[in-house]
Structure 1
Amino acid sequence: MHFLYQIPHLVELGVNAVELLPIFEYDEFEFQRRPNPRDHMLNTWGYSTLNFFSPMSRYASNGEGPTVASIEFKQMVKALHKAGIEVILDVVYNHTNENDDEHPYTTSFRGIDNLVYYMVNLKSYVQLLNFSGCGNSFNCNHPVVKELVLDSLRHWVTEYHVDGFRFDLASSLCRDTDGTPLQSPPLIRAIAKDPVLSKCKLIAEPWDCGGLYQVGNFPNWDRWGEWNGMYRDAIRRFVKGDPGMKSSFATRLSGSADLYNVNKRKPYHSINFITAHDGFTLFDLVAYNEKHNDANGEDGRDGSNDNFSWNCGFEGETNDFSINALRQRQMKNFLLALMLSQGTPMVLMGDEYAHTRFGNNNSYGHDSLINHFQWNQLRSKHTDQFRFFAGIIRLRRRHPLLGRANFLLEEDVTWHEDQWDNPDGRFLSFTLHERDLGGGDLYAAFNAHSYFVNTILPSPPDGKHWYRLVDTNLTSPDDFVEEGVPGVLGTYNVAPFSSLLLHAKA
């Protein structure tokens, strides 16, 4: 795993879309329309599952149907592979469209054999178990259902040549037919041992809506990667200035060895992310304290309430220059932290130009500008935020100290810190040493205080000098200078809510 770029909806990729290896979230099921009380806003989603083997027919150009959708998907994968981009398919095997007992909607599995295909409690009036938040849980560890899932996964690899999968609410797939958590779930093990699937990239969202939280201990057979929810929360909280987060911040930057340095697991098994298709975009993370989901038609009950966001002084969009400048710094701070972290970084489509969903943190049901990629905004911000994003990503890909295959050793890093337990400490700096990897030492500092911190810099290696690569307090193009700016001497005054990156060069 090298770099993941999450695209919640298929979009036309242009030449500016990247030097990134993406993760495509793609609804792999064939759909047909169903009545819904929120029909006024469900233009794209809220459809009924018919099978796990075909692309959604509506993705065909000019409405030409399922055959064209299948051909065009294959053409897309082939074109992306030619450009050196892998395709990882987002798959949802934890539930289907067939709803709950109160609002049954029988289209396929429920009508074929409800007791086989779903987890049920025959002693309860509401019989369908619900670990997905969608009213039903697919019974993936039943032998018949397990083989169906495995066959469909192999089909996407052998027929469509996708490179791997991200499994939605994967902890739901770790439950027995009665919902009991399993230490060695048959489906998860079968995927890890399968002669075809074991060669793919396998990523779990290691939790479900029934409270089975498995970050760091998802059954993995040293094959499965995980969305690292602890990483997301720690980085968000430190960067916005929460107290007592310095130690957790350092642990997550280091690759979460406390979670993944077990058996043969590696730093890249940690999928590090700040934002994803669920929740706030990066801009909304720094522009909203609360979710604003009124347009979803659920009276604001949907979506997470625990966003660890900070609006920087005003709820929503504003013309206030100082607030907007702070938001720009915070978004860059988040990206720099992500790209300096050991593990596999994942960036959400649209964050590179500060896409907003106007505070909606559960936008799955909107076929509108909330979810559409805004190419005009990308072009208008190409010299600022997009430029910074592209530069930091390029640095990540080229510098040997970033994205290591193995966990950091004590001699690989120096933490310039002696007050780890001080809850008021919101400044952290460290040096990554090149040792036998080359590339030159890197010094990084993150200041989440509301005041300047004049920090003493460590001496660079003999014969070298510090060059400033990044100072997020500076405006573009000075915020990132790829070749570095010389003249950095013994101290540096790090601005409030900003970060710094120095490179040791001769």
Structure 2
Amino acid sequence: MRDCCDGFNFAVFSRHAEAMQLLLFRHPGSHEPWCVIDLDPARHRTGDVWHALVDGIGWRQAYAYRVFGPWAPTQGHRFDRDVELLDPYALATTAAANWDFRGDATIDRQTDPAPGAASPASPAASPPRSLLVSRRFDWQGVGRPKRPWSETIVYETHVRGLTIHASSGARHPGTFLAVIDKIPHFRRLGVTAVELMPVQEFDARDNPRTSPSGHRLSNYWGYATTAFFAPKAAYGTARDAGCEVEEFKTMVRELHRAGIEVIMDVVFNHTGEGGEAGPTLSFRGFDNAIYYMLDEAGRYRNLTGCGNTFNCNHPVVRDYVVDCLRYWATEMQVDGFRFDLASILGRGEHGELLHDPPLLERIAEDPILRDVKLIAEAWDAAGAFQVGSFPAQRWAEWNSRYRDDVRRFWRGDPGLRGALAWRVCGSADLYQKAGKEPVGSVNFVTCHDGFTLADLTSYAHKRNEANGEANRDGPAEEFSAGYGAEGDTGDPEVRRIRLRQAKNLLATLFVSRGVPMLLGGDEFGRSQGGNSNAYCQDNAVSWYDWRLVERNGEIFRFARAMAGVRRRFATLRSDAFYSEDEVRWFDCDGQPPDWQAPHGTLGMLIRSGESANDDRPLLLCILFNAGEAPVGFVLPPSPEPWRVVFDTAKAPPEDIRASGEEPCLPRQSRYGLEGRSMAMVVSGRARS
């Protein structure tokens, strides 16, 4: 739909529909339409596009479609004349209270109806409707930050969870506008981009499970999109219908004003319509055979684990995905996208992995999208794992190899020296052969999917019973440890080790080449009580308790200071791989390491070209000790005394020092490093 001087032009795609109706509702919550417009194929259809020009209506007009066609599942057709459908291009939807596709009725969703009968997925309650909303907005001259990858620090967060807790102090908790209230925190921490978990409209009630206590669980994370152009209405203030569009733009504008980019987590691999037993909401009712991957019997190919797979490499669906990305990048001014289960976007209509996927190349080369950041979750639920081999240039990747290798090294697993070295240097073993730079690797030790940093260092085993799946869900292996206890403990020694390990993981992340990503709340010790799959927990398990910023002030201070260390030393964030002249690895005795040895000790000497004194190079020496016993490292010779930037074994303020406040080491040949700790010393000064 778009407005023009003569009215509003409604247009939707359907190749196999036989007839269609446009329904107009007097109010967004109306149950019955006040106007039904029959779309005559002879007058209101051009090719596969059904359209109608309507005057006499205005902004916030609620509308839906009813589509008539064959019910022939074996041929891929699942038209249902009794279902009101959302416009796939709807820019807004009615309020979240109407998002109840199942209602309270008991519906048999396991058996297809006879041909011509209504689908069993027909919603029992009044469905949501599409809304006409104006695109006008005052950006106040605020432009995009346009930060290069090498200067990017990503903060992944959930919009609602960020501020819904009473401790947030937000004026409109749980909304897009409340994100603005946390800009001072983002700036203080030093992040440059906020990556928002799904904000395109989804049904938060689309979860049939209950907790062991009998409470209905939610679709809290939102990885089941139903309207790809529409911001989630529940993240608006509900001051009027469709207000979330303007409020999303306001959030983006104010983040940009603060120099912070906005990255959206988008889910084009499947939709909220699910499998054969799922509800008919939009795509299934408009043209199931086009929008979804189907097998020879007309059943959904489930390569996502969510019931259906979007047919991304059909030309019509390709256009839809690109149109959607263009809308968010231009109208909503989003700076980048993280693609959930992105390997799906590289599969053909039969589910096969394509050698040169047209959609991935088109997104990367699209002239409107050329400046946006593209991040792939380079795997899917059907066995594809393409970390380091994602088949498209200009795409960065979530580097799960980084996560696992760094976790295992610091847990004390033997034989991880070589793996750690690769990860700290930007994972050249994965990306150099693919023609990518270190910034092609989005490095992380935690993300929404799995343990938080506090839980990673507090639990050896997941605690997911509250998810209603008898603890079977969630990642099979977290490479975590409790260090003498499981969960909360008052033991001061265990708490000391856990804090040190959290610092080690953060320090490793910030000294590694590539793009660092923090999970929101890790900077102040947010815990989910050992729940590694909190997708259904819209409660205190997932919400950010902002009192922890002061309560766990030591880890927060360390995290923000490490972000400062990364900004201070450009060599750590270079967008090129280290050359042989720039880096040298050594063991405790100062000699080249035995890469096959089981030891958890390693030294790294970096010769940087950013020295403030041309006659004296800037040298950085990073020391790792994942073992339990203290060790002494023979330090390389340096023209100036070594100064200690950070040492995770030391108590504040000696654990990390600001520029100009680093204590000088006496002229000595060894540095004592406690067990399970990490340190960095520097010789010379960087150019300011």
Provide TM-score, normalisation by structure 2. Answer: 0.70
Q: Distance in 2 between matches of 1:330 and 1:352?
A: 13
Q: Alignment identity in percent?
A: 40
The match for 1:156 is: 328
Greater relative contact order (CA < 8 Å, ≥ 6 in sequence): 1
SS at match of 2:202: coil
Counterpart of 1:486 (choices 640, 664, 668) is 664
Counterpart of 1:77 (choices 252, 258, 266) is 252
1:427 is the counterpart of 2:601: yes
- On the 8 A contact 1:129/1:136 being kept in 2, the answer is yes
The match for 1:131 is: 303
The match for 1:503 is: 682
Letter of the 2:246 counterpart: I
- On the 8 A contact 1:49/1:107 being kept in 2, the answer is no
Q: Distance in 1 between matches of 2:240 and 2:265?
A: 22
Letter of the 1:150 counterpart: V
Q: Distance in 1 between matches of 2:684 and 2:325?
A: 48
The match for 1:324 is: 495
Moved more, 234-243 or 295-304: 295-304
- On the 8 A contact 1:58/1:65 being kept in 2, the answer is no
Deviation at 1:216, TM superposition (A): 0.4
Q: CA 1:49–1:232 in 2, change beyond 3 Å: closer, same or farther?
A: closer
Q: Distance in 1 between matches of 2:153 and 2:649?
A: 26
Q: Distance in 2 between matches of 1:193 and 1:432?
A: 36
1:3 is the counterpart of 2:153: yes
The match for 2:446 is: 275
Counterpart of 1:392 (choices 558, 562, 566) is 562
Q: Distance in 2 between matches of 1:97 and 1:55?
A: 15
Deviation at 1:505, TM superposition (A): 3.2
Q: Distance in 1 between matches of 2:311 and 2:221?
A: 21
The match for 2:359 is: 187
Counterpart of 2:636 (choices 443, 446, 458) is 458
Q: Distance in 2 between matches of 1:302 and 1:203?
A: 26
SS at match of 2:486: coil
- On the 8 A contact 1:28/1:53 being kept in 2, the answer is no
The match for 1:449 is: 627
Q: CA 1:263–1:246 in 2, change beyond 3 Å: closer, same or farther?
A: closer
Q: Distance in 1 between matches of 2:339 and 2:611?
A: 34
Moved more, 278-287 or 104-113: 104-113
1:289 is the counterpart of 2:460: yes
The match for 1:107 is: 281
> What CA deviation, in whole Å up to 9, does each residue of 1:59-98 have, x standing for no partner?
112x335521111110110001110000011101111111
Q: CA 1:255–1:36 in 2, change beyond 3 Å: closer, same or farther?
A: closer
Deviation at 1:112, TM superposition (A): 1.8
Aligned length: 498
Counterpart of 1:407 (choices 577, 592, 606) is 577
Letter of the 1:253 counterpart: V
- On the 8 A contact 2:207/2:218 being kept in 1, the answer is no
Task: After TM superposition, list the pairs within 5 Å mapping 1:177-326 onto structure 2.
Answer: 177-221=349-393, 223-262=394-433, 264-326=435-497
- On the 8 A contact 2:206/2:219 being kept in 1, the answer is no
> What CA deviation, in whole Å up to 9, does each residue of 1:166-196 have, x standing for no partner?
0001011111111000111111111011001
SS at match of 1:431: strand
> What CA deviation, in whole Å up to 9, does each residue of 1:130-154 have, x standing for no partner?
1212111111111111111111100
Counterpart of 1:53 (choices 201, 219, 229) is 229
Q: Distance in 2 between matches of 1:408 and 1:285?
A: 30
SS at match of 2:316: helix
- On the 8 A contact 1:36/1:46 being kept in 2, the answer is no
The match for 2:96 is: none
Task: After TM superposition, list the pairs within 5 Å mapping 1:112-123 onto structure 2.
Answer: 112-123=286-297
Q: Distance in 2 between matches of 1:428 and 1:142?
A: 50
Q: Distance in 2 between matches of 1:265 and 1:448?
A: 30
SS at match of 1:94: coil
Counterpart of 1:97 (choices 228, 249, 272) is 272
Q: Distance in 2 between matches of 1:229 and 1:77?
A: 29
Larger helix proportion of the pair:
1
Q: CA 1:447–1:433 in 2, change beyond 3 Å: closer, same or farther?
A: same
Letter of the 2:396 counterpart: G
Deviation at 1:291, TM superposition (A): 1.1
- On the 8 A contact 1:53/1:155 being kept in 2, the answer is yes
Q: CA 1:230–1:325 in 2, change beyond 3 Å: closer, same or farther?
A: same
Moved more, 18-27 or 139-148: 18-27
Q: Distance in 1 between matches of 2:221 and 2:601?
A: 46
Q: CA 1:7–1:49 in 2, change beyond 3 Å: closer, same or farther?
A: closer
Deviation at 1:35, TM superposition (A): 5.9
Q: CA 1:33–1:333 in 2, change beyond 3 Å: closer, same or farther?
A: closer
Q: CA 1:32–1:7 in 2, change beyond 3 Å: closer, same or farther?
A: closer
Deviation at 1:339, TM superposition (A): 0.7
Q: Distance in 1 between matches of 2:433 and 2:343?
A: 19
TM-align CA RMSD = 1.8
Q: Distance in 1 between matches of 2:304 and 2:311?
A: 12
The match for 1:348 is: 519
The match for 2:618 is: 440
SS at match of 1:302: coil
Letter of the 2:654 counterpart: D
Deviation at 1:286, TM superposition (A): 0.7
Q: Distance in 2 between matches of 1:148 and 1:427?
A: 51
Q: CA 1:420–1:130 in 2, change beyond 3 Å: closer, same or farther?
A: farther
SS at match of 1:485: coil
Q: CA 1:240–1:409 in 2, change beyond 3 Å: closer, same or farther?
A: same
Deviation at 1:14, TM superposition (A): 4.7
Letter of the 2:245 counterpart: S
SS at match of 2:231: coil
1:470 is the counterpart of 2:470: no
Q: Distance in 2 between matches of 1:216 and 1:396?
A: 24
Deviation at 1:26, TM superposition (A): 3.5
Q: Distance in 1 between matches of 2:206 and 2:415?
A: 49
1:145 is the counterpart of 2:317: yes
Moved more, 369-378 or 425-434: 369-378
Deviation at 1:360, TM superposition (A): 0.7
- On the 8 A contact 1:45/1:365 being kept in 2, the answer is yes
Moved more, 39-48 or 134-143: 39-48
SS at match of 2:322: helix
Moved more, 205-214 or 451-460: 451-460
The match for 2:136 is: none
Deviation at 1:217, TM superposition (A): 0.6
- On the 8 A contact 1:22/1:88 being kept in 2, the answer is yes
Q: Distance in 1 between matches of 2:341 and 2:495?
A: 35
Q: Distance in 2 between matches of 1:66 and 1:21?
A: 32
The match for 1:368 is: 539
Deviation at 1:421, TM superposition (A): 3.4
- On the 8 A contact 1:204/1:224 being kept in 2, the answer is yes
Moved more, 41-50 or 353-362: 41-50
Letter of the 2:682 counterpart: H
